[in-house]
Amino acid sequence: MKTQAIKWVGGTNGFLEAIDQTRLPQRLVMIKIRNVKTLIDAIKTLAVRGAPAIGVAAAYGLVLAIQKTGNAKNTLALLRKQARKIASSRPTAVNLSWAVSRVQQKAQALVSKNPQAAVKDLKAVILNEAHKIHRQDVAMCRQIGRNGEKFIKNGAGILTHCNAGLLATAGDGTALSVIYEAKKRGKKFRVYADETRPLLQGSRLTAWELQNAEIDTTVICDNMAGALMRQGKISMVITGADRIAANGDSANKIGTYSLSVLAKAHKIPFYIAAPSSTFDLKIKNGSLITIEERPADEVAKICGKRITPKGVKIENPAFDITPAQNITAIITERGVIKNPNARKIKNIFRTRK
């Protein structure tokens, strides 16, 4: 049976079930999320993570938010309040605010059309919209894979950073969907997974995923990438993204920018794979993207054991910005944006799919 990172169980009074990604790879543990507080804790602690996945989880979170309300007016007020809380749980990933905004708009549209709408109908509309976001994410992942697999050649050495697979989405992933699709088509290649300090999403999560998919995988420390590029072992880099500005500047897990610089220096193509929901066209460039600062202990400790002297200063930005000029192409479900810039991105969004 295929692993699902997140899924909704039941009807409007149901709950969200998710893989606790803090337990991987040692244990595969499912957590049951029955209220907004538990959802926000899961997102903040990265038990549920990945921009598309937390967007889907946020949509279902609004179902949890209004389960105990008794009338439509109270439901809308509570929905707005809880939506703000959920959207602020992680500031960089745009999918979070995109999903809660979309669900709120659907709820508001029902009440505007029918002010006397029954609360059960409002709850059903919210759940149906969350299901729709879920299904669309699965479809987007599949299409990203199909649009991107052509860039993987037989014998390729593919470097990826952090985790942009089925654990980070409702489907097969973004960057890893491209890899999975290439495997389906019989291509032979090797994947190098950066360990991705400080929380090791590459060595814990990406390696776990790829091993389960029987894909040739090698884990490397983050600081080994340049040496392997120089040796000719890496022929392309592909990562996901958490927010993409209107000009193509992309926020992704800290360390992605460094890889883009190394790839450019070694004349290696650097790809980003992301759904259209990850684009934030209201933001002109990457300098305007809010970068989440994570707790110092994530750097100071590994598996609960301190590795730095007590009292030493620590910086822990969760993401960095890769400038558009370092990106060979952005692979989306709408198509591929080569050498991305504001004009090309605007054009691809003119075509609705």
Domain boundary among 143, 165, 198: 143
**Residue range 102-119, pLDDT digits in tens:** 999 998 898 888 877 788
**Residue range 162-186, pLDDT digits in tens:** 999 999 999 999 999 999 999 999 9
- CATH code (residue 297): 3.40.50.10470
The angle formed by the CA atoms of residues 88, 274 and 16, to the nearest 5 degrees, is 50
Are 178 and 279 in the same domain? yes
Checking 220-224 for CB contacts under 8 A at 24+ apart, the result is 220/192, 220/193, 220/194, 220/195, 221/194, 221/195, 222/161, 222/194, 222/195, 222/196, 222/197, 222/255
Q: In terms of pLDDT, which residue wins out, 264 or 112?
A: 264
Q: Residue 280: helix, strand or coil by DSSP? A: strand
Are 261 and 345 in the same domain? yes
Q: Is residue 1 part of a domain?
A: no
pLDDT interval class at 74 (50, 70, 90): confident
Are 165 and 267 in the same domain? yes
Are 105 and 205 in the same domain? no
Residues forming a β-bridge with 220: 194
**Residue range 280-308, pLDDT digits in tens:** 999 999 999 999 999 999 999 998 899 99
Are 55 and 180 in the same domain? no
Are 137 and 197 in the same domain? no
Q: Which residues are catalytic?
A: 242
Stretch 188-201: mean pLDDT: 97
Helices (H) and strands (E) in the chain, counts: 12, 16
Kindly tell me if the per-residue pLDDT of 232 is higher than 90.
yes
DSSP secondary structure string for all residues of 196-261 = -TTTTHIIIIIHHHHHHTT--EEEE-GGGHHHHHHTT---EEEE--SEEETTS-EEEETTHHHHHH
Average pLDDT, the chain: 94
Residues forming a β-bridge with 273: 331
The angle formed by the CA atoms of residues 103, 64 and 51, to the nearest 5 degrees, is 55
Are 162 and 291 in the same domain? yes
Kindly tell me if the per-residue pLDDT of 1 is higher than 50.
no
Tokens 């037989």 sit on residue: 154
Domain that holds residue 232: 151-350
With pLDDT > 70 as the criterion, what percentage of the chain qualifies?
Answer: 98
The pLDDT value given to residue 114: 82
CA distances 136 to 130, 141, 288, 311, 334, Å, are 10, 9, 28, 47, 13
- Going by C-beta distance under 8 Å and a sequence separation of 6 or more, which residues neighbour residue 215? 179, 180, 183, 191
Q: Supply the DSSP symbol for 306.
A: E
Stretch 24-36: mean pLDDT: 95
